[in-house]
Amino acid sequence: MSNKRTIGMWLYQNGGGNAIQKKIIKKLKERDINTIPHLNLRNAIARNGNIICKSDGCGKNHKLNKLDLFFSYNAGEQTQYQVYLYEALNRVIPTINSYEAFALTEDKFHTAFMLRQKSIATPDYTLCHRDDGHQLKKIIKKWDKMVYKPTDSWGGVGLAKIENEASLDMLIPFLNHMDLRYFYVEKFIKYDNTDFRVDIVDGKFVACYGRKASATDWRTNITSGGSVFVREANDEIIDISIKACKACGIDIGGVDIIYDQEKEEYVVLEVNGIPAFATPEQEKMGLDFNNKKIDLIVDLIDRKTKKQRMKNGTK
């Protein structure tokens, strides 16, 4: 291992990601940390004791297992192969987020389950075996309306709002037709069609913004037509978000929160493991948290790599 700390990085390049990457690399360099960017595990090969990857798929081979840390920050592009290697890599070097936390937050049921362990409010939910579909009938009587969620979805995709028993009767044969192992449903929360997205890094509050659903949709996701707006968090929201990230063991998280008008409390919908930086357009709108987020990430990488060197007995 060279004397200089060296980390690997795979960060999304669209929506201003490229400029963010440059800033992170520069700030790490100021702390004498070297970065190898564009390490897409899609291009990696595991051979005996090593995971080998070229930056951007060309040039020199790097042994990822010899790095001081791997920073994986590219949502939506992860294939099963990449995730499988991420898991292996995480066994031998620190990763951000840790593979365990990443895998946990990729799954909505596991996340809600862990949040409830720490008494963090989430929508009421039920997970049942696919053969227990009759449970859903019982539940909708109690809940009135519910949301069917694929546990591994994102961007509001695949969510179905079930308004009454009749629409459930229509949905069940369709779900049975798909090769699902289980059903995950949540009580539909009566809310004002806006949410809070709270960014946390290393247990510290970075920023909050809001998203508002379009007039024709109940989901706030941008991909479902929602729009971002400047929104302040209050102490309670910040506190819940920090606790939610801690419950998931996640270093960098984006917590989705809505206000339940019936129970009169904030509920956490999910924790996102790769929350986007503000895009250049959003920055113009006034979402000016990128530098703060970068600084906290750089601090985190600095600390984790130092710790790793101490552990390995190399200063």
Q: How many residues bind Mg ion (CB under 5 A)?
A: 1
**Cβ 52 vs Cβ 45: under 8 Å:** yes
**Cβ 186 vs Cβ 147: under 8 Å:** yes
Under rule CB under 5 A, residue 195 binds Mg ion: no
Taking contact as CB under 5 A, which single stretch among the options 143-151, 210-218, 234-242, 256-264 is the one that binds Mg ion?
A: 256-264
Q: Give the containing element (helix H, strand E) for 62.
A: strand 61-63
To Mg ion, the closest distance from the beta carbon of 35 in angstroms equals: 29
Measured from the CB atom, the residue of 186 and 256 that comes closer to Mg ion is 256
Q: Which of 55, 95, 97, 220 binds ligand ADP (CB under 6 A)?
A: 220
SS3 270: strand
CA 271, CA 151: separation in Å to the nearest integer?
12
Under rule CB under 6 A, residue 256 binds ligand ADP: yes
**Interaction pattern, residues 164-193, with ligand ADP; x per rule: CB under 6 A:** ----------------------x-xx----
Measured from the CB atom, the residue of 46 and 103 that comes closer to ligand ADP is 103
Q: Give the containing element (helix H, strand E) for 199.
A: strand 194-201
Edge-to-edge, what's the strand order for the sheet holding 69-73? Answer: 33-36, 5-11, 69-73, 95-96
CA 197, CA 214: separation in Å to the nearest integer?
17
To Mg ion, the closest distance from the beta carbon of 300 in angstroms equals: 23
Q: Which of 115, 120, 136, 147 binds ligand ADP (CB under 6 A)?
A: 147
To Mg ion, the closest distance from the beta carbon of 269 in angstroms equals: 6
Measured from the CB atom, the residue of 201 and 269 that comes closer to ligand ADP is 269
SS3 300: helix
To Mg ion, the closest distance from the beta carbon of 219 in angstroms equals: 8
Region for 189 from its dihedrals, namely left if φ exceeds 0, alpha if ψ lies in -120 to 50, beta otherwise: beta
- Annotate 281-294 with b (16+ C-beta within 10 A) or e (fewer): ebeeeebebbeebb
To ligand ADP, the closest distance from the beta carbon of 259 in angstroms equals: 11
Measured from the CB atom, the residue of 32 and 152 that comes closer to ligand ADP is 152
Q: Which of 68, 106, 195, 302 binds ligand ADP (CB under 6 A)?
A: 195
To Mg ion, the closest distance from the beta carbon of 206 in angstroms equals: 17
Under rule CB under 5 A, residue 256 binds Mg ion: yes
**Cβ 155 vs Cβ 214: under 8 Å:** no
Q: Where are the alpha helices (DSSP H) in 159-234?
A: 165-177
Q: Which residues bind ligand ADP (CB under 6 A)?
A: 123, 147, 153-156, 159, 186, 188-189, 195, 213, 218-221, 256, 269-270
